[in-house]
Amino acid sequence: MKKIVLTLSLLACVVITFGQTFDFGVKAGFNTSTIDGSINNISSSFKSRSGSNIGLFARLGGSKLYLQPELLYATKNSSYTYTVTLGQTATNTIKIQTIQIPLLLGYKLLDLKLASIRAFTGPAGSFVTSGSITNISSQEVKDNLNSMNWAWQLGAGVDVLKFTLDVRYEMGLNNLTKNQIQDYISINKGNTFTVSLGFKFF
């Protein structure tokens, strides 16, 4: 991952050096996350729940190739069901808040005067700011989550005038927990589908 980030950073320098355009804007959207995990070391099915993201983005490049770094506050939610007593189950909700920094390399597939169609891919690092699970203290949850997580994103976007619409899929590259929470909950890699709408100030 470090080599990939370094390669993209070097490519970013080239794009910035020879780039002709610079865009800056805000964006917001919603996501659904699918997370796998285990309860008492037994593989469990975690259900998707909706989350959200909001933040800033920049776009630097030329007529076709561009680099898009972002700074986002993202909330990802999921839930799991477990057996309480014989014949009875309960459902707990998982919420994880992060500061996410994607570094995306994009290419304009179609570039018209008023609209364009793009494709992009790249790594995203996430710093966990807080986490919660039903009936478990937030501090205990956060203490057992990795403070830094990596994912890979790919997607497509449409620009119309100053508005930009992105659809992307994010594949988690590492497990979210470093230790079991309360010695019985493990949260593995998470995959996220995101739709966001942005506005370019310039």
- According to the model, what pLDDT value does residue 16 have? 55
3-state class (DSSP) for residue 89: strand
CB-based contact 141:152 (threshold 8 Å): no
- According to the model, what pLDDT value does residue 61 have? 83
Nearest to 53 by CA among 37, 30, 36: 30
With vertex at residue 172, the alpha carbon angle to CA 164 and CA 110, rounded to the nearest 5 degrees, is 30
- According to the model, what pLDDT value does residue 187 have? 85
- According to the model, what pLDDT value does residue 105 have? 93
- According to the model, what pLDDT value does residue 6 have? 56
**40 vs 70: CA distance, rounded Å:** 37
- According to the model, what pLDDT value does residue 12 have? 58
- pTM for the predicted model, two decimal places: 0.85
Along the chain (202 residues), what's the average pLDDT of each consecutive run of 10 residues? 55 56 93 82 75 95 88 91 73 90 94 91 94 87 91 97 96 90 83 96 85
- According to the model, what pLDDT value does residue 80 have? 78
For residue 144, give Cα distances in angstroms to 13, 67, 95, 154, 177: 37, 34, 14, 28, 6
Q: Which CATH class is domain 2-200?
A: mainly beta
Nearest to 153 by CA among 123, 184, 189: 123
**123 vs 105: CA distance, rounded Å:** 9
**142 residue type, one letter:** K
pLDDT digits (tens, 9 = 90+) for 48-71: 889 999 999 999 887 789 999 999
- According to the model, what pLDDT value does residue 29 have? 97
